[in-house]
Amino acid sequence: MRHAVVSRLTPLVEPLVEGLIRLCGWSAIFFVFAIFFFVFREGAPLLVGTLDLGEFFTSVNWRPDSRIQAQYGILALLAGTASVTALAMILSVPAGLGAAIFVSEFCAPRVRETLKIVIELLAAIPSVVWGFIGYMVLNPLLISATGAPIGINILNGGIILALMSVPIIMSVGEDALKAVPDTYREAALALGASRWQLVYRVLLPAAKNGLLAAALLGIGRSVGETMAVLMATGHSVQIPHSLLDPVRTLTATIAAELGETVEGGDHYRVLFVIGTLLMLMAFAVNLAADLAVKGVRGKQNG
Amino acid sequence: MSWVRPVLVVGIAVGTLASAACSSSSSPTSDSAGGVVIRLTGSDTMVNLNQAWAENYKKVKPEVSVQIAGGGSGVGIAGLIDGILDIAASSREMEAEEIARATKTAGAEPKEFVVGLDALAVYVHEGNPVQSISLEELAEIYGEGGQLVKWSQAGVKNTACTGDEIIRVSRQNNSGTYVYFREAVLGTTRELRLGSIDQSGSKDVVALVSRTPCAIGYSGMAYAAPGVRALPISKKKGEPGVAPMLQSALDGTYPISRPLYLYSHGTPTGPVKEFIDWTLSAAGQQILQDVGYVPAPAAGQ
């Protein structure tokens, strides 16, 4: 009896569920484009109008509120984002990939579960809390350890961002290693390879693209991070000359300044131009990660 | 902590968009319980003061609730222009262009109330031996092309600071304190030198200076805290400095004190008028003095 009801309902329910799932899929794409469109639309009047793109990209003078002559040069902000991201990657990629290799290949199952939970917990800490740690804990530590005049600087921001990126790099990296068929491992061990040789000569080349994707996703996380870097980097407009110089990033500038701007003003629009630039950067990084993962699949199928 | 502020800022930005979509009323709204809500946003310098006023006003008029948010004077003024606030708190005067915009959106010129005075204090780390500082020296430290980059150049033997470099702590540019400091120290024709450490709150400046032996920073007089010293200020180098105090701010001998403002849409009526009148009353001014500011010269009459 019940079977009969279910089978009678199936023709009705199935298209409904199918439609719903389709809607979910398309809505994600729709929202991404809608967000991009709205961010771009707010910045566009300035972008096609009075903004001097040459000055925008090559001037270090960021004085959006000047009474004499407003200047919108983001070179120092770009340098800030690039330097903090680069340092974070130098610290987090080896650590994240190392953790992935350890968890996937060397670790006893019980330790693995604990480790994974703990490391993934790092990803659950809100970025404001990370920023707070950088500002309150790391700042005095760095002053006494390095002799720098101020402890909120590239080094501080880089360390905080590295700690935030490690969980992502580890999770994605571990998945990439797990995706290498066990037959590879068995074959290598059967040939008498040690476990280190197995990792170095077999697994790393086989999972190369997936590991690259893991690193790129870590970069994406670093470039887009706002609150933590706002607090930990010192928020100072200048081209850095050493790791101990404070800097300001693109994201932190938007967060700090959007509230004061009057809708439709030049300052408001230039912040949306920066937003558009950040979205393009994130898009480029994600596309690169995606292509790298596709490379993995292609190779395994082929 | 004031790191909550960017969240508020985003909230206000979203609110701004929302208000652009559906026309917003410039009169106080009613909450679900039927009471009146007055929305007061703006100056970070005044946020503690506004908070204290709101709490005490609750005792006077329990049916009126005053919602306080900070974010900076610029945030308050932008909110007033966009019509999402009843009162903007500001530690700087509204500019002519801002008044014109607000007049256009609200239909009436914003009304200005001077509710008190704030002495802007210049703070250094307690380990810094510097005795006093002049506005001329501050201009050379903070100004574009300034000559003072090391403490020794200012004649100060700051032994706690190993690198001797002066670390300039400043405020983000949505801050009325920032705008006032720039004008008081550099006038209207000189830019601030880029590369200062820009903090988002009055309290953050003091907290950072108290942890940084090389630093110098400016913030409201009311934000003095353990670990920092507020310097006596003189106009010219060599003149005796005047310490930031109630008396020196009131009689004008302290060179960097400024009025604190509330702005309403047009001439206020009803609950908004009652609230502003109360802040200017003896009770309101007593609270202002308890928080650490100087009563408005014309208030209380």
Q: How far apart are the C-alpha atoms of A81 and A223, rounded to whole Å?
A: 7
A188: in domain: yes
The SS3 assignment for B110 reads: coil
A172 lies in which domain range?
74-301
Q: Does B200 touch chain A (CB under 8 A)?
A: yes
For B99-214, where are the E strands, in sequence order? 111-125, 133-134, 167-171, 197-199
Reported ipTM exceeds the 0.90 cut? no
Interatomic CA distance for residues A298 and B2, integer angstroms: 50
Domain assignment present for residue A57? The answer is no
What integer pLDDT is reported at residue B183 of this predicted model?
Answer: 86
Given a cut of 60, whether residue A2 has pLDDT beyond it is no
**A288 and A148 both lie in a single domain:** yes
Comparing alpha-carbon positions, the chain A residue that sits nearest to B172 is A256
Six token digits for residue A112: 């693995």
Cβ A256–B174 below 8 Å, yes or no?
A: yes
Q: How far is B282 from chain A (nearest CA, A)?
A: 32
Q: Are residues A17 and A152 in the same domain?
A: no
State pLDDT tens for residues A117-167. 888 888 889 989 999 999 889 988 998 888 888 889 999 999 999 999 999
Tell me: do A148 and A284 sit in the same domain. yes
* Residue found by looking up tokens 């066990």 in the block: A182
pLDDT 10s digits, B202-249: 888 999 999 888 999 999 888 889 999 999 999 988 888 999 888 888
Say whether residue A64 is in contact with chain B using an 8 A CB cutoff. yes
> What is the rounded average pLDDT of the residues B100-106?
87
Residue A61 forms contact with B (CB below 8 Å) = yes
> Which residue has 């993995």 as its token pair?
A296
Helix axes A250-257, A266-301, angle to 10 degrees: 140
The burial of A21, by beta-carbon neighbours within 10 Å (0-12 exposed, 13-18 middle, 19 or more buried), is given as: exposed
Asked if B22 is an interface residue toward chain A (Cβ–Cβ < 8 A), one would say no
Contact list in B for residue A152 (CB cut-off 8 A) is 197, 208
Q: Alpha-carbon distance B52 to B287, whole Å?
A: 7
Chain B residues in contact with A64 (beta carbon < 8 A)? 173
Mutate to test the interface with B, among A262, A267, A270 (most CBs of B within 10 A): A262
List, for residues A284-299, the tens digit of each pLDDT value.
888 887 887 777 565 5
Give the pairing of strands B111-125 and B294-295: antiparallel
Q: Which of B63, B72, B38 is nearest to B265 (CA)?
A: B38
Confirm whether A69 is domain-assigned: no
C-alpha–C-alpha distance, residues A62 and B120, integer Å = 25
With contacts defined as CB-CB under 8 Å, which chain B residues touch A70?
Answer: none
Number of structural domains (chain A) is 2
Q: What is the CATH number of the domain that holds A248?
A: 1.10.3720.10
Cα–Cα–Cα angle for A59, A60, A66, rounded to 5 degrees? 95
Distance CA B2, CA B51 (A): 14
**Within an 8 Å CB–CB cutoff, is residue A116 touching chain B?**
no
Token pair for A182: 């066990």
Top-level CATH class of B17-116+260-295?
A: alpha beta
pLDDT tier for residue B18 given thresholds of 50, 70 and 90? very low
Domain extents in chain B: 17-116+260-295, 118-251
Comparing CB atoms, the residue among A65, A76, A152 nearest residue B173 is A65
Fold agreement (B17-116+260-295, B118-251): yes
Mean pLDDT over each residue of chain B, to the nearest integer:
83
B161 touches chain A (CB under 8 A): yes
Looking at beta carbons, which residues of chain A come within 8 Å of B188? 67-68
User: Could you tell me the CATH superfamily of domain B118-251?
Assistant: Periplasmic binding protein-like II (3.40.190.10)
Size of interface A-B (CB pairs under 8 A): 113
Residue A119 lies in a domain: yes
8 Å CB contact of B163 and A148: yes
**One-letter amino acid of A78:** L
Q: Rounded CA gap, B20 and B23, in Å? A: 6
pLDDT exceeds cutoff 90 at A271: yes
- Token code pair at residue B134: 């002049």
pLDDT digits (tens, 9 = 90+) for A37-83: 999 999 999 988 888 888 899 999 998 888 788 889 999 999 999 99
Residues A45 and A188 in one domain: no
Q: Residue B162 — pLDDT band, cuts 50, 70, 90?
A: confident
Alpha carbons within 13 angstroms on the beta-carbon side of residue A34 total: 6
Query: Does a structural domain hold residue A63?
Result: no
Pick the residue from chain A with its C-alpha nearest to B168.
Answer: A236
pLDDT band at B122 (very low <50, low <70, confident <90, very high): very high
Strand pairing category for B133-134 and B167-171: unpaired
CB A271 within 8 A of CB A281: no
- Please report residues of B whose CB lies closer than 8 A to that of A238: 194-195
**A59 and B CB contact within 8 Å:** no
A114 shares its domain with A13? no
Question: In B, which residues are within 8 Å of A235 by CB distance?
Answer: 172, 197-200
CB contact under 8 A, B198 and A236: yes
Nearest by Cα to B120 from B24, B59, B43, B36: B43
Residues B198, A248: C-beta atoms closer than 8 Å: yes
Question: Taking a contact as any Cβ pair under 8 Å apart, which residues of chain B between 269 and 288 contact chain A?
Answer: none
In a domain, A261, yes or no: yes
Tell me which of B188, B211, B214 to substitute to probe the interface with A (most A C-beta atoms closer than 10 Å): B211
Find residues 46-105 of chain B whose CB sits inside 8 Å of chain A: 71-72, 74-75, 78, 81-82, 98, 101
